[in-house]
Amino acid sequence: MEDRVVTISRAKLSVEYPTSFMLIAAMNPCPCGYYNHPDKDCSCAPGIVQRYLNKISGPLLDRIDIHVEVVPVPFRELSDDRASEKSEVIRKRVVAARKIQDERYDGSKGIYCNAQMTSRQLRQICKLDEVSQTLLKNAMEKLSLSARAYDRILKVARTIADLDNEAEIKTEHLAEAIQYRSLDRENWGV
Ligand SMILES: [Zn+2]
């Protein structure tokens, strides 16, 4: 996933294909499906929810940048006709953020967006002020996040700041990025 190549080895030869892809996956919150449900109770025995999540290996979960919990939408909200933000407006924001990243990585061979930055670039590009540093340190300790998750959080925070057209990562961008680690080992099913 990270190297963006797939190697197929046979007895006589080995071939490498470019494989750059975006992985989007969905799963139930637990075997019965009601863990964290607003109205219904989860009927899973203690430890079952954690064991269910453990089916996804830690290293794989670490490489998924954004975890979002989707709770059921009540009918009154489904039928609510208030206008939500239009896709074309969102698209403009994404295109603008991509342009910022194009300029940022101009001259860095093979790097086009924040997800691809090297660890050296990460240190230069994702600088945090003191408040944000403390926030991230506390989150790392409290949520027992891995070093890989740390890098992911910084990259996602940088992208959120780009979508906001901000030159610096602000505390709110970082806080949002931390929220997207909800499935990391220690937080789910306990
Ligand atoms: Zn359950």
> For residue 43, what pLDDT band results from cuts at 50, 70 and 90?
very high
Write out the two tokens for 23.
């992985």
Q: What is the pLDDT of residue 167?
A: 95
Tell me the CA–centroid distance for residue 32 and ligand 1, in Å.
Answer: 4
Tell me the CA–centroid distance for residue 123 and ligand 1, in Å.
Answer: 41
Q: With CA atoms as reference, report the closest residue to 183 among 42, 29, 45.
A: 29
Q: What is the pLDDT of residue 187?
A: 59
Mean pLDDT, range 122-137, rounded to an integer = 95
Domain range holding 124? 5-187
Mean pLDDT, range 113-117, rounded to an integer = 93
> For residue 110, what pLDDT band results from cuts at 50, 70 and 90?
confident
Write out the two tokens for 17.
């294909």
Q: What is the pLDDT of residue 186?
A: 59
CA-CA distance, 35 to 140, in Å (whole number)? 24
Mapping DSSP to helix (H, G, I), strand (E, B) and coil, where does residue 165 land? coil
Q: What is the pLDDT of residue 15?
A: 93
pLDDT at 185 over 60: no
Please report, in angstroms and rounded to a whole number, the separation of the first and last CA atoms in the chain: 29
The secondary structure element, H or E, covering residue 9 is: strand 5-9
Tell me the CA–centroid distance for residue 26 and ligand 1, in Å.
Answer: 16
Q: What is the pLDDT of residue 103?
A: 97
The count of structural domains within the chain is 1
Do residues 65 and 152 lie in contact, with contact meaning Cβ atoms separated by under 8 Å? Answer: yes
CA-CA distance, 93 to 188, in Å (whole number)? 32
Q: What is the pLDDT of residue 38?
A: 85
Do residues 183 and 67 lie in contact, with contact meaning Cβ atoms separated by under 8 Å? Answer: yes
Tell me the CA–centroid distance for residue 61 and ligand 1, in Å.
Answer: 20
